[in-house]
Amino acid sequence: MSKGTVFVVSAPSGAGKTTLCRELVARDSRLRHLVSHTTRPPRPGEVGGRDYTFLPEERFRAMAEDGEFAEWALVHGNYYGTALSRIHEVLASGDDVLMDIDVQGARQIRGKNIGAIFIFVLPPSMGILENRLKSRASDDERTIQRRIGKARGEIACYREYDYLLVNDVLETCIEQARAILTSVRLRIAAVEPGWVERTFDI
C-alpha cells in the first residue's frame, strides 16, 4: 500500500539519538537502519557487512566522486558515508530507512530529493546535556566543553527539521517518534502510486 520513506534523525552528542534509533528499529519491522561505508579499519568484534562496509580510501573517494553516496563526511581522519543504492533498495521493498546522521549529513540528504523526513532530538537542557556527557566518563573536561560548544551550533539548526523531540524520558521520546512514523506513513503522499486505483478498480 505505502512506499518507503527516509527518516533522518539528528541530535547533539549526549541527547540520546543512538539509543532512540536502536529502540525504534527494534520495535518496528518496517524500519531499516542502513549499514554505512567507512575507510577506518574494523574494531575488535566488528563484522564487515553487519557493522560497516569497510572500504579502502581510494575506493571510497571514487564512489564519492561518482555521486554514489547520499551523504558522506571525513571524521577524525576516516571517511564515512551512506550509499544511495542501498537507500533505493530498501525504499523499493516498501520498508522505511532510518538514518542517524549529523546536521551536515542531513543537509546533504536534502539535496538528494528523496523525500526524506527530518527529526531533531534535543536534550531537556544544556545542563542535563553536560551532565550526560560527564557521566559517560570517556572524555576529559576539555573534550566535553568542545562537545557542548558544538552542540549549541547544532541546536541552532533545529528549524531545518520537520519534527522536534525532547528526550527527557526515553520511553516517552520513543513513543513520540513512533507517532511521527505512523503519521508520515498514513499521508496520501506515502501511498504507492496506483495502489488505490488497482485495489478498488477505479
In the chain, where the domains are located: 6-34+95-200
b/e string for 163-190 if b means 16 or more Cβ within 10 A? bebebeeeeebbebbeebbeebbeeeeb
- Cα separation, 60 vs 81, whole angstroms: 9
pLDDT for 134 equals 83
Surface-to-core class of residue 113, CB atoms within 10 Å of its CB (0-12 exposed, 13-18 middle, 19+ buried): exposed
| pTM (2 d.p.) | 0.88
pLDDT for 138 equals 67
pLDDT for 189 equals 87
Q: What is the mean pLDDT of each run of 10 residues along the chain (202 residues)?
A: 89 90 96 92 88 94 96 89 94 93 92 93 92 78 85 95 97 98 93 91 94
What CATH number does the domain located at 6-34+95-200 have?
Answer: 3.40.50.300
Identify residue 113 by its one-letter amino acid code.
N
pLDDT for 72 equals 95
Contact 119, 7 (CB under 8 A): yes
pLDDT for 137 equals 67
Number of H helices, E strands in the chain: 8, 9
N- to C-terminal Cα separation, the chain: 16
pLDDT for 142 equals 85
pLDDT for 14 equals 86
What is the helix (H) or strand (E) element at residue 55, kind and residue range?
none
pLDDT for 1 equals 66
